[in-house]
Amino acid sequence: MKRAASGKALRPRRSEFLVFGAPLITEAEIREVEDTLRSGWLGTGPKTKRFESDFAAYTGARHAIALNSCTAGLHLALDAAGIGPGDEVITTPMTFCATANVITHVGATPVFADVDPRTMNLDPDAVAKAITPRTKALIPVHFAGRPCDMEALLDLAAKHRLIVIEDAAHATEARYHGLKVGSIGDMTAFSFYATKNVVTGEGGMLTTHSDHWAERIRIRSLHGLSKDAWKRYSSDGFQPYDTLYPGYKYNMMDLQASLGIHQLARVQENLARREAIWRRYDEAFEGRFILPAPAEPETVHARHLYTLLLEPETLGMGQLEFLEALRAENIGAGVHFVALHLHHYYRQRLGTKRGDFPNAEWISDRTVSLPLSPKLSDEDVEDVIAAVLRISER
């Protein structure tokens, strides 16, 4: 147990651990899952199709293909676009490893470009400097739910004939200049992992306006089987199918879609709760930490991650010490992210090192993500605030 300056032991702020990113699951989801279990159709089926239709309507995309992860979506997008050995794909080092991993999966080379220290998103000027004759695609990541500068990135893509595949794992609710994320780039991948704003446990969605790419992706997402192969065991009787491509096992199940249907229906209500928590955090931490920058004009921030930036010299402790102190207060937190160019695999493969992308490193060394979920009660939020302030004053 920690001790105050007086030597008196300090009790943790909470008696029970507050899990970081715990989702809000309601009776509607539970009933839908129960209905799916009773139906006997657990795999890809009618509820997956309904979720796809709902998501396409929500984003304004012509097509939405439900998958088992955002990673699958990014991989399929590169695969369908013909990205492969000898090609380069530019992305950010401030992202989860999956964003770069899928580039290596298709045999291409990930090329990192530094981020804007304010937005934490790709800096278009850095992207421009990273483009070579081998560059074939860009993967901008809408970090924490903040839309990237898509106008500048799309201009670069048009100039150099590049495909734009958006990583919107954090950005289901995001909008940019009147357009929903999911209807802007060539293809967009979303995540419905357990900590995301729309939750199916594991799951993802890929959106596109292109009939050509949508057909390729749908076929390749289920072993490369011919269209609507999932219906081969339906009440219509056995449906003959063919293998058109050596595809992948990336399809979503109706069990997952049962959650997604209701999660998506409440997405705006949940965003309003996230925004209220965000404002309370801003109010409490103003002047004590570097706060997330305000959303840019003509955009909607999805409010997926609330990331404080520590100032170790002033605070008297580093990132890992701060996280351990929060854990001792029974508050869960995270780091988003350790800059990818500092990870062992990419250091070995690409020869990257500390100093290559100073803005990403500066953020990576200081960032701490606090709990942010519509499941949080007002008491939970005040516990987080009290614990953070206690640590900063210790």
Query: How buried is 305 (Cβ within 10 angstroms: 0-12 exposed, 13-18 middle, 19+ buried)?
Result: buried
Burial 364-390 (b: 16+ CB within 10 A, else e): bbbbbbbbbbbebeeebbebbbebbeb
Q: Which residue of the set 2, 196, 249, 353 is catalytic? A: 196
227 catalytic, yes or no? no
Q: Which residues of 50-65 are buried (b: 16+ CB within 10 A; e: fewer)?
A: bbbebbbebbebebbb
Strand partners, 164: 138
Query: Which residue reads 């899928």 in tokens?
Result: 102
Report how far residue 40's alpha carbon sits from residue 270's, in angstroms, rounded to the nearest whole number: 31
Quickly tell me which residue has 């500390």 as its tokens.
354
Tokens 């199940």 map to which residue? 253
Say how far apart CA 318 and CA 121 lie, in whole Å.
23
Active-site residues, by number, are 196
